[in-house]
Amino acid sequence: MASAAERHTFPELAKRAVADTQLRRNIGNATQTIRAKRAAVVAEVPDWEDLREAGRSLKEHTLRSLDRYLVQLEEAVTKAGGQVHWARDGAEASRIVIEIAERHSVKEVIKVKSITTEEIKLNEALEAAGIRPFETDLAELIIQLGDDVSSHILVPAIHRNRAEIRELFMRKLGLTELSDRPSDLTAAARTYLREKFLTVPMAVSGANFGICDTGTICVVESEGNGRMCLTLPQVLVSVMGVEKLVPTWEDMEVFLQLLPRSSTGERMNPYNSFWTGVMPGDGPQEFHLVLLDNRRTDVLADRTGRQTLNCIRCSACLNICPVYSRTGGHAYHSEYQGPIGAILTPQLHGMESAASLPYASSLCGACYEVCPVKINIPEVLVHLRTRAVAQSGFTLEKLAMGAAIRMFDNPRLLETAQKIARVAQRPFASDGYITGGIGPVRQWTKARDLPAVPSQSFRDWWRTRR
Amino acid sequence: MSAAREEVLGRIRQALSRDPAGEIDIARSYRRTAALHGAELVDRFAERAEAYKATVLRVDAAGLADALERLRGRFVVPDDLPEEWLPPEFIRDHRQLGHRDLDAVDGVVTGCALAIAETGTIVLDAGVGQGRRAITLLPDFHVCIVPVERIVASVPEAVAALRTSLPRPLTFMSGPSATSDIELNRVEGVHGPRRLEIIILGETPD
Ligand code: SF4
């Protein structure tokens, strides 16, 4: 993922992705389909805006007293028979999981899709310790068998088509006959994984919510692989970021409405599992909860950036984003993609490793409008750009950004600037698109087809019509 | 481990140290109930559950016997499932059945804690007539009996009612399992039961 010396910047990767037409078509179809489904089920809810406000305020309320809520959750989970562990970073979390596996002499674990465990590279750590992780989400299985990287937080294998998946399954699952119908491919995965579910004694999951007053953990999913992992093995370990808390059970009435409609565009996703510690005779008889920091407390310390921790990972901002729907997820070079990735990755992995990501946006604001917990992504982007620029010293971009903020605040200034731009761009505009430019504009247009400022602005045109 | 605990909690307190004192209010202007009653409530539940490709039957007590009569094959049932809800051929689960046994039966019949009309969801809470979680997970066919008085209108009403079910595990089910992972084609039936039949039991109120 984002490496110490960001080897590939967003502009380089985006250019490559946009050139790949198959990928573009898949991502384009996917985002369009989910967008339409989401819009339809959101329109059905008369109090959607009230729910968003409740979601935002619940998250901000919880973050403001995060220390107290974490201690409350720890107590409740422990009382219910679970064991709670704290991890300062990814390496520490991975060590905790490996120690539990070793104590049970486990050589294989089954996994439910979890971006948090991707973030901490748990699979690599398990493999290094001689423990084989099996991803059980269909898309994750496709990714794992293909030695591939996720491109969307909700549908990670969206860049693969059915022919590629068929070929992969035949080769890796040792099948001699298989059609490329999605139902047949799914059935092949069911058969392969059923045996794993029945025999592997330990599971690792993430968590969507940790409910502080009851110590209940929640995982939402579609395929039933989550229920399998949460129910059948003897030992269950859930790795959860410290920000995923809700104060009380009743608060789930908000998130159980916001999340499924924003995420898969369904009224409710097929399965939601809730469990509280250990239930004798039902499910795993040993439960561990690993509370992970991994720089989340740094994000918390930044009062503008902090709202990033409200995120419930619904992926609505990816599907609506004009940049994401053209480039796909790989360009972000991170387990978190799209608009949320552009603000979360640099904060979690460090500005030095992902300094180009805050620029992977046109600041159009669509992500803010769809976000179920009202994260003002454009605001955080601009804030992080300022931080990135501050770290790299004074540049023209800094000047331009400062000017841009002032302009969007002031329509008169914007109009004047557009007039100046129309004159200034003349030598570079061809076919209505700016392709070259100098200085900051050149940097900008390297990876963006910047639409040329039309010879007459909308405001000018409107005035002449009247 | 407690060194990590103290350090993480310390970092959080440090991060929050410059915040103004006092709590952030939670905005609760959203609906806590939905205006759905009587026949409309039951219709809405049936329609929304069908939208997920669940099969929905509506029966009275006599109709239930007929509906159960049609079930072919061996069904596992929770040890406390009422007599009138039993299919022709059944095995009661007293937790003696292993996972492979459950994998080998043809289906499962259970009741539920409640059902949510607006979302077409059934909720199991491991209470009476529902059994442990594994019995509704491994068999390929789940028949769930929903008495009409168990249907609530909205998610907030369901959440309020389920408070007393905790700390037992809860499972919300909305249709059979599904995936859209391959080219966004929806495929019903991945790992959970591939078929879900919901039998709504009782006179529909006016
Ligand atoms: S930032 Fe908002 S819209 Fe994007 S994934 Fe997170 S919660 Fe969803």
CATH of the domain at A270: 3.40.50.10420
A20 half-sphere exposure, CB direction, 13 A CA radius: 18
B133 CB neighbours in chain A (<8 A) are 227, 231, 282-283
How close is the Cα of A377 to the center of ligand 1, in Å?
9
Question: Residue A419 pLDDT more than 70?
Answer: no
Cross-chain residue pair B27–A225, CB shorter than 8 Å = no
Residue identifier of the C-alpha nearest atom 8 of ligand 1: A314
A51 and A192 in a single domain? The answer is yes
Judge: B169–A185 Cβ closer than 8 Å, yes or no.
no
Q: Which of A19-33, A173-187, B2-16, B115-129 is the least confident region?
A: A19-33
Name chain A contacts of B185, Cβ cutoff 8 Å: 182
SS (HEC) of A277-331: CCECCECCCEEEEEEECCCHHHHHHCCCHHHHHHCCCCCHHHHHCCCHHHHCCHH
Q: In what order do the strands lie in the sheet with A235-241?
A: A83-87, A286-292, A235-241, A202-205, A108-111, A132-135
Q: What is the pLDDT of residue A342?
A: 86
Contact B178 A223 (CB under 8 A): yes
- Residues near A29 by beta carbon (within 8 Å), at least 6 away in sequence: B183, B184
Q: Is residue A66 part of a domain?
A: yes
Q: Which of B1, B7, B12 to mutate to test the interface with A (most CBs of A within 10 A)?
A: B12
Instruction: At A327, list the tokens.
Output: 């480039």
Q: Provide the 10 A C-beta neighbour count for residue A208.
A: 21
As a whole number, the mean pLDDT across chain B is: 94
* Rounded distance from Cα A376 to ligand 1 centre (Å): 10
Residue A379 lies in a domain: no
Ligand 1 center to A262 CA (angstroms): 9
Contact A398, A389 (CB under 8 A): yes
Task: Give the pLDDT band of residue A140 (cuts 50, 70, 90).
Answer: confident
For residues A413 and A288, state if they share a domain: no
Using one digit for the tens of pLDDT, what is the confidence trace for A246-258?
A: 999 999 999 999 9
How many residues are there in chain B?
206
Of A150-164, A181-195, A331-345, the range with the highest mean pLDDT is A181-195
Residues 39-98 of B with CB under 8 A from A: 48, 51-52, 95
The pLDDT assigned to B205 comes to 72
Q: Does ipTM surpass 0.90 in this model?
A: yes
CB contact under 8 A, A298 and B192: no
Selection from B144, B133, B151, B131 nearest residue B203 by Cα: B151
- Domain range for A441 is 408-465
**Within a domain: residue A327?**
no
Gap between the Cα atoms of A128 and A130, Å rounded: 5
- Compute the distance between CA of residue B180 and CA of residue B186 in angstroms, rounded to an integer: 4
Chain A hits for B100, Cβ within 8 Å: 198
- Ligand 1 binding pocket mutation candidate from A371, A376, A377, A381 (most atoms within 8 A of CB): A371
**Using the beta-carbon criterion (under 8 Å), do B171 and A257 form an inter-chain contact?**
no
User: A-chain residues within 8 Å CB-CB of B176?
Assistant: 270
Q: Which of B195, B202, B200, B203 is nearest to B73 (CA)?
A: B195
Given A294, A329, A362, the domain boundary residue is A294
What's the confidence (pLDDT) of residue A417?
Answer: 41
Minimum CA distance residue for ligand 1 atom 2: A371
Subunit contact B177:A270, Cβ cutoff 8 A: yes
Closest-CA residue of chain B to A234: B99
Domain boundary among A272, A294, A316: A294
In sequence order, the 6+-apart residues with CB closer than 8 A to the CB of A305 are A299, A343, A347, A380, A383, A384
Alpha carbon of A372 to ligand 1 centroid (Å): 7
Which residue matches tokens 């004047």? A416
Residue A249 falls within a domain, yes or no?
A: yes
- Condensed to tens digits (0 to 9), the pLDDT of residues A92-104 reads 999 999 999 999 9
Bin A45: left if φ > 0, else alpha if -120 < ψ < 50, else beta. Answer: beta
Q: Do A278 and A422 share a domain, yes or no?
A: no
| CB-based contact A90:A115 (threshold 8 Å) | no
User: Cβ neighbours of residue A465 under 8 Å, at least 6 residues apart?
Assistant: none
Is the distance from CB of A125 to CB of A92 less than 8 angstroms?
no
pTM of the model: 0.86
Three-state SS for B147? strand
Counting from 1 in the atom list of ligand 1, the atom nearest the Cα of A315 is: 5
Nearest to A138 by CA among B189, B100, B176, B102: B189
The set of protein residues with a Cβ atom below 6 angstroms from ligand 1 is: A 262, 311-317, 340, 370-373, 375
Task: Please say whether the beta carbons of A260 and A267 come within 8 A.
Answer: yes
Lowest mean pLDDT among A151-155, A167-171, B195-199: A151-155
Q: Do A274 and B27 touch (CB under 8 A)?
A: no
Q: Which residue type sits at A431?
A: D
Partner-chain contact B29 A50, CB within 8 Å:
yes
Gap between the Cα atoms of B84 and B169, Å rounded? 26
What's the pLDDT at B204? 77
Shared-domain flag, residues A235 and A87? yes
In chain B, which residues have their Cβ closer than 8 Å to the Cβ of A279?
Answer: 126, 167-169
CA gap B104, B164 in Å, rounded: 34
> What does the alpha-carbon distance between residue A261 and residue A52 come to, in Å, rounded to a whole number?
12
Question: How far, in Å, from the CA of A264 to the mean position of ligand 1?
Answer: 13
Which residue from A minimizes the CA distance to B121? A268
A44 CA → ligand 1 middle, Å: 20
Q: pLDDT band for A387, please (50, 70, 90 cuts).
A: confident
- Positive or negative: CA dihedral A70, A74, A76, A82: positive
Per-residue pLDDT at A8: 63
Question: Phi and psi of A110, rounded to 5°?
Answer: -100, 145
Average pLDDT over residues A146-153: 73
Q: What is the DSSP letter of A454?
A: P
Three-class DSSP labels, B83-132: HHHCCCCEEEECCCCCHHHHHHCCEEEECCCEEECCCCEEEECCCCCCCC
Please indicate, yes or no, if residue A175 is contained in any of the structural domains.
Answer: yes
Query: In this predicted structure, what is the pLDDT of residue A148?
Result: 78
Say what the pLDDT of residue A361 is: 73
- Measured CA to CA, the distance from residue B162 to residue A214 in angstroms comes to 12
DSSP result, A367-403: HHHH-TT---HHHHHHHHHHHHHHHH---HHHHHHHH
Q: Is residue A378 part of a domain?
A: no
Task: Tell me which of A260, A294, A328 is where a domain ends.
Answer: A294
**Residue with more model confidence, B111 or A360:** B111
Q: Which residues of B touch A71 (CB under 8 A)?
A: 9
pLDDT given for residue B75 in this prediction: 98
What confidence category does residue A293 fall into, taking pLDDT thresholds of 50, 70 and 90? Answer: very high
Q: How far is B175 from chain A (nearest CA, A)?
A: 6
Same domain, A285 and A434: no
**Within-domain flag for A56:** yes
Asked if B184 and A269 come within 8 Å (Cβ–Cβ), the reply is no
Whose CA is closest to B148, among B115, B177, B110? B115
pLDDT band at A13 (very low <50, low <70, confident <90, very high): low
pLDDT of A91 over the 80 cut:
yes
Query: In chain B, what are the domains?
Result: 33-201 (3.40.50.10420)
Instruction: Return the residue of B nearest to A50 by Cα.
Output: B30
- pLDDT value for B106: 97
What is the three-class DSSP state of A146?
coil
- CA quadruple B50, B54, B58, B61: dihedral, nearest 10: -160
Overall domain count for chain A? 2
> In A, which residues are within 8 Å of B198 by CB distance?
none
Q: Which of residues 131-170 of B touch A (CB under 8 A)?
A: 132-134, 137, 155-156, 159-160, 162-163, 166-170
Nearest to B5 among A86, A138, A158 (CB): A86
> Strand pairing partners for A109?
A133
β-bridge pairing B195-201 and B55-59: parallel
Question: Taking a C-beta distance cutoff of 8 angstroms, is the pair A141, B181 a contact?
Answer: no
Q: Mutation test of the interface with chain A: which of B18, B48, B122, B179, choosing the one with the most A Cβ atoms within 10 A?
A: B179
Q: Which of A33, A138, A232 sits opposite B179 (nearest CB)?
A: A138
Q: What is the model's pLDDT at position A15?
A: 64
Q: Is residue A165 in a domain?
A: yes
Q: Hey, how many other C-beta atoms are within 10 angstroms of the C-beta on A57?
A: 19
Q: Do A57 and B25 touch (CB under 8 A)?
A: yes
Do B137 and A194 make contact, defined as CB atoms within 8 angstroms?
Answer: no
Lookup result for tokens 């704290």: A86
Tokens 């099996």 belong to residue: A134
Average pLDDT for A437-454: 40
Nearest CA in chain A to B5: A86
Count other Cβ atoms within 10 Å, centred on residue A321. Answer: 26
Q: Which atom of ligand 1 is nearest to the CA of A318?
A: 4
Torsion of CA B165, B166, B171, B174, to 10 degrees: 60
The size of the A-B interface in CB pairs under 8 A is 244
Q: What is the DSSP letter of A249?
A: G
**Cβ(A267)–Cβ(A217) below 8 Å:** no
Q: Residue A309: list chain B partners with CB under 8 A.
A: none
Q: What is the pLDDT of residues B168-192, one digit of tens each?
A: 999 999 988 888 778 777 888 889 8
**Weakly modelled stretches of chain B, pLDDT under 50:** none
pLDDT in tens, A304-322: 999 999 999 999 998 898 8
pLDDT of residue A406: 43
Evaluate whether A54 touches A367 at the Cβ level (below 8 Å).
Answer: no
Count Cβ atoms within 10 A of the Cβ of residue A6 and give its class: 0-12 exposed, 13-18 middle, 19 or more buried: buried
For residue B167, say if its preceding peptide bond is cis, omega within 30 degrees of 0: yes
